[in-house]
């Protein structure tokens, strides 16, 4: 095999392997993501609480830092709505962690998921206002 052929193969694999890993999101994780997104929209505190780590932190678009208790208190004050669609969703797998980046309306959202006591839970989230 020529050096040029090996180089082309290496470049192709370096492009394909991360995409293949990203595509291998466990079904139970996708289900947990969907359920938690719906829980936020519907102000379903029980589901949100179950799918959110005790160590959860959230940084809001205005820079406000919130603990799980802070965010849960805020969730309790909101009115149920229809979940907004996520766009430009990318999910990446890093060892025991999955990171989801997406756009919801006028914000970029990053949430970090880990398996904790057999349940997928969010450990951190950050919202950033998206440029128009």
Percent of the chain's residues with pLDDT above 70: 83
pLDDT 10s digits, 40-90: 999 999 999 999 999 999 999 999 999 999 999 999 999 998 888 899 999
* pLDDT surpasses 70 at 3: no
Give Cβ neighbours of residue 42 (< 8 Å, ≥ 6 apart): 80, 81, 83
Q: Would 124 be classed as within a structural domain? A: yes
| pLDDT for the residue numbered 23 | 53
CATH number (domain holding residue 61) = 3.10.450.50
pLDDT confidence band for 19 (50 / 70 / 90):
very low
The verdict on residue 110 lying in a domain is yes
Residue 16 token pair: 């394909």
Q: How many domains does the chain have?
A: 1
* Predicted structure pTM score: 0.79
State the residue range of the domain holding 37: 26-129
Q: Where are the beta strands (DSSP E) in the chain?
A: 52-59, 65-67, 86-94, 97-104, 107-116, 119-129
On whether residue 16 sits in a domain, the answer given is: no
């Amino acid at each position: 095999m020529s050096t040029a052929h090996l180089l082309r193969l290496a470049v192709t694999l370096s492009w394909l392997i991360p995409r293949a890993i990203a595509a291998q999101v466990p079904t139970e994780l996708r289900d947990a993501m969907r359920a938690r997104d719906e829980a936020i929209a519907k102000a379903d505190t029980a589901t949100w609480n179950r799918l959110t780590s005790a160590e959860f932190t959230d940084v809001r678009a205005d820079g406000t830092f919130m603990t799980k208790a802070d965010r849960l208190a805020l969730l309790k004050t909101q009115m149920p709505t229809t979940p907004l669609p996520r766009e430009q969703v990318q999910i990446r797998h890093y060892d025991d962690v999955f990171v989801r980046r997406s756009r919801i309306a006028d914000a970029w959202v990053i949430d970090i998921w880990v398996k904790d006591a057999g349940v997928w839970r969010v450990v951190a989230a950050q919202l950033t206002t998206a440029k128009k």
